[in-house]
């Protein structure tokens, strides 16, 4: 099957590549200039300068200067565009032309281009569904710790945080820790993990250095993307290796658990590096690396999930209520649920009394690792067969730890996800194939783990016998019932 897909892709590539020499007469032309803001004459960095009708483009630097080199024919038109300013076109007639462009600012952008609504580029106002968009400028200026956290500030989006490394966007009011019907795409590739059935947050997604835009469809997108998008969709687009070249680095450092109540104050750090390079505007590559490490928050709620359980557990003994309830099922303790209920019969106050008691179980803090990490690597190779036809290969790798919450909590340890993508993209079509490879590593479900640890220390019957013997001894010695229960458990 793999050979068949390769053949389907190679045949059009060879056919199109054979036509490439037809443009050999185009000369290698170099143009440069400066972009200013109209009125203030201040240099404008980050302006996109592209050749109209082609795929050639660069960005202006911090001084507003740019240099573009490509195989072109005079005359050609340059398009200058940046969010917050009116786009401008300039015809270049010869290589001696001095280029100094002034862009006029505008108050709002009403013609933003989106691609997630109908799978093709269209105006935001013409989209058949509601679209919320974070562009590169909004991402750069967001006060959130990362662009992924910034999604919580988007209209109609709620973010559920199960772990530092595991955040789940929700729309349409489905505020749950595992949104199975919310699709997350990165450059058109579905990031859903096969084992859990949901994307692992941004575990293998782009870093802040490589993200170009995020489009959120808060309504149902199932008509175009299937049932997995019935609760909405997020489409993450990365930067072009041809347009955004060079080396970028960032280092983020913070501190959490500053109150020292549940855990000691800990350092939270994230490092990211991006490098991209293009060669004669024909071939380009990019590499991304990021590493996050920190200490996760502690869930240690010791509230009984069934506060009225005294009525069903041991209703005749008021002293066995609240924290002294021997059949309590605590929120963040595992192995003490209904399946661990053990009836214990002892002689008490001259008669045989049967008490409902549950196994002791294990607290969550003793079953999970507080240290979490997320390592991400990705790269891409891009080759322009013609000005409007590009062949690319992309690879993503992510390794993460964290907590995934469903009915039970799952400790994710050394989970790895890989993604391979091969794409042939034209002006108004594309052919794309991708595969996702996942390994859950040493992950485990906390509740079955605690139940099996209990059974490893003896069956419920054997544990109940030991408990009954100690409880009878304590009661015979005159110990009050609540204290006797605690001593028997110890």
Instruction: Check if the beta carbon of residue 36 is closer than 8 Å to that of residue 101.
Output: yes
Q: Are residues 411 and 361 in the same domain?
A: no
pLDDT at 248: 94
Q: Are residues 57 and 122 in the same domain?
A: no
Q: Which segments within 164-265 are labelled E, that is strand?
A: 166-170, 183-186, 189-190, 211-217, 233-238, 246-256
CATH of the domain at 437: 2.170.130.10
CB-side neighbour CA atoms (13 Å) of 486: 9
Helix locations, 83-150, DSSP H: 136-141
pTM, two decimals, is 0.76
Helix axes 446-456, 460-476, angle to 10 degrees: 70
**Domain-embedded: residue 61:** yes
**Domain-embedded: residue 17:** no
Instruction: Check if the beta carbon of residue 139 is closer than 8 Å to that of residue 150.
Output: yes
pLDDT at 198: 82
Instruction: Check if the beta carbon of residue 183 is closer than 8 Å to that of residue 116.
Output: no
pLDDT in tens, the chain (490 residues): 333 333 333 334 333 333 444 444 567 788 899 999 988 889 998 899 988 877 778 888 888 999 888 888 888 999 998 878 889 999 998 877 789 999 998 765 555 665 655 555 555 545 556 678 888 878 888 888 888 888 888 888 888 888 898 888 888 777 677 777 788 999 999 998 888 888 888 989 999 999 998 988 887 776 677 777 888 889 999 999 998 999 999 999 999 999 888 889 999 999 999 999 999 889 999 999 999 999 998 888 888 887 665 556 788 888 888 888 898 889 999 998 877 788 999 999 889 999 999 999 999 999 998 999 999 999 999 999 998 899 999 999 999 999 988 778 999 999 999 999 999 999 889 999 999 999 999 999 999 999 999 999 899 999 999 999 999 999 999 999 999 999 999 8
CB-side neighbour CA atoms (13 Å) of 51: 22
Q: Are residues 51 and 160 in the same domain?
A: no
Q: Are residues 195 and 96 in the same domain?
A: no
**Domain-embedded: residue 9:** no
**Domain-embedded: residue 8:** no
Q: What is the Cα–Cα distance from 71 to 48, expressed in whole angstroms?
A: 19
Q: Are residues 346 and 475 in the same domain?
A: yes
- 125: tokens are 């106002």
pLDDT at 9: 36
What is the full DSSP assignment across 403-441? EEESSSEEEEEEEEEEEEEEEEE-SS-EEEEEEEEEE-B
What is the full DSSP assignment across 261-311? SSS--EEEEEEEEEEEEEETTTEEEEEEEEEEEEE--------BS-TTTHH
Write the CA distances from 148 to 139, 159, 276, 288, integer angstroms.
9, 10, 22, 17
Q: Are residues 197 and 335 in the same domain?
A: no
What are 148's strand-pairing partners? none
Cα angle 364, 368, 372; round to 5: 135
Q: Which residues contact 257 (CB under 8 A, 6 or more apart)?
A: 263, 264, 265, 266, 295, 297
- 37: tokens are 């803001």
- Name the phi and psi angles at 452, rounded to 5: -70, -30
Q: What is the Cα–Cα distance from 421 to 382, expressed in whole angstroms?
A: 12
Q: Are residues 382 and 259 in the same domain?
A: yes
Helix locations, 326-384, DSSP H: none
Q: Are residues 373 and 352 in the same domain?
A: no
Structural Rg of the chain based on CA atoms:
30
- Name the phi and psi angles at 427, rounded to 5: -65, -35
What is the full DSSP assignment across 47-66? -EEEETTSS-EEE--TTSEE
Q: Which class for 238: exposed (0-12), middle (13-18), buried (19 or more C-beta within 10 A)?
A: buried
Q: Are residues 179 and 289 in the same domain?
A: yes
**Domain-embedded: residue 88:** yes
CATH of the domain at 90: 2.60.40.1120
Last residue of a domain, one of 36, 71, 103: 103
Strand ordering across the sheet containing 57-59:
57-59, 48-51, 76-81, 88-92
Q: Which domain holds residue 474?
A: 310-366+458-489
Q: What is the Cα–Cα distance from 190 to 350, expressed in whole angstroms?
A: 68
Tokens 């110890």 — which residue?
Answer: 490
Overall domain count for the chain? 3
Residue 48 Ramachandran class (φ > 0 left, ψ -120 to 50 alpha, else beta):
beta
* Continuous segment of H or E residues that includes residue 98: none
Q: Are residues 238 and 162 in the same domain?
A: yes
Tokens 């009661």 — which residue?
Answer: 475
pLDDT at 4: 34
What is the full DSSP assignment across 196-207? TSSB-TTSSS--
pLDDT at 247: 94
- 158: tokens are 């709620």
**Domain-embedded: residue 483:** yes
Q: Are residues 62 and 98 in the same domain?
A: yes
Q: Are residues 117 and 41 in the same domain?
A: no
Last residue of a domain, one of 85, 103, 121: 103
Instruction: Check if the beta carbon of residue 157 is closer than 8 Å to that of residue 169.
Output: yes
Last residue of a domain, one of 54, 74, 103: 103
């Amino acid at each position: 099957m793999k050979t068949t897909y390769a053949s389907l892709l190679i045949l059009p590539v060879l056919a199109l590549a054979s036509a490439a020499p037809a443009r050999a007469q185009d000369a290698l032309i170099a143009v440069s200039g400066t972009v200013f803001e109209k009125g203030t004459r201040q240099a404008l960095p980050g302006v996109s300068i592209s050749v109209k009708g082609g795929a050639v483009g660069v960005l202006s630097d911090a001084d507003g200067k740019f240099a573009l080199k490509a195989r072109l024919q005079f005359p050609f038109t340059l398009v200058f565009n940046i969010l917050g300013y009116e786009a401008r076109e300039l015809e270049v007639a010869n290589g001696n032309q001095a280029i100094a462009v002034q862009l006029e600012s505008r108050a709002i952008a009403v013609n933003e281009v989106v691609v997630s609504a109908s799978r093709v580029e269209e105006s935001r106002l013409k989209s058949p569904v509601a679209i919320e968009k974070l562009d590169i400028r909004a991402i750069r200026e967001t006060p959130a710790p990362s662009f992924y956290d910034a999604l919580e500030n988007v209209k109609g989006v709620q973010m559920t945080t199960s772990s530092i490394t595991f955040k789940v966007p929700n729309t349409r009011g489905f505020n749950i820790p595992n949104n199975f019907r919310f699709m997350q795409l990165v450059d058109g590739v579905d990031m859903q993990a096969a084992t859990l059935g949901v994307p692992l947050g941004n575990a293998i997604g782009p870093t802040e250095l490589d993200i170009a835009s995020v489009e959120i469809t808060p309504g149902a997108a199932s008509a175009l993307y299937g049932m997995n998008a019935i609760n909405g969709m997020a489409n993450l687009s990365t930067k072009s290796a041809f347009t955004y070249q060079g080396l970028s680095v960032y280092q983020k450092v913070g501190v959490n658990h500053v109150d020292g109540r549940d855990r000691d104050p800990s350092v939270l750090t994230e490092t990211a590096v991006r490098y991209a390079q293009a060669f004669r505007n024909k071939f380009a590559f990019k590499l991304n690396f990021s590493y996050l490490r920190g200490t996760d928050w502690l869930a240690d709620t010791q509230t009984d999930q069934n506060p009225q359980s005294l009525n069903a557990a041991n209703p005749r003994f008021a002293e066995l209520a609240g924290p002294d309830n021997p059949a309590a099922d605590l929120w963040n303790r595992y192995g003490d649920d209904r399946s661990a209920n053990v009836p214990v019969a002892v002689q008490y106050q001259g008669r045989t009394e049967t008490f409902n008691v549950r196994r002791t179980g294990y607290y969550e803090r003793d079953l999970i690792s507080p240290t979490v990490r997320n390592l991400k690597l990705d790269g891409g190779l891009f080759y322009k067969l013609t000005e409007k036809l590009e062949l690319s290969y992309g690879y993503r790798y992510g390794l993460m730890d964290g907590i995934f919450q469903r009915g039970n909590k799952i400790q994710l340890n050394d989970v790895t996800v890989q993604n391979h993508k091969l794409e042939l993209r034209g002006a108004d079509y594309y052919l794309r194939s991708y595969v996702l490879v996942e390994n859950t590593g040493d992950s485990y479900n906390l509740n079955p783990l605690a139940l099996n640890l209990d059974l490893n220390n003896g069956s419920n019957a054997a544990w109940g016998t030991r408990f009954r013997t100690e409880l009878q001894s304590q009661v015979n010695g005159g110990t009050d019932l609540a204290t006797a229960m605690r001593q028997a458990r110890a």
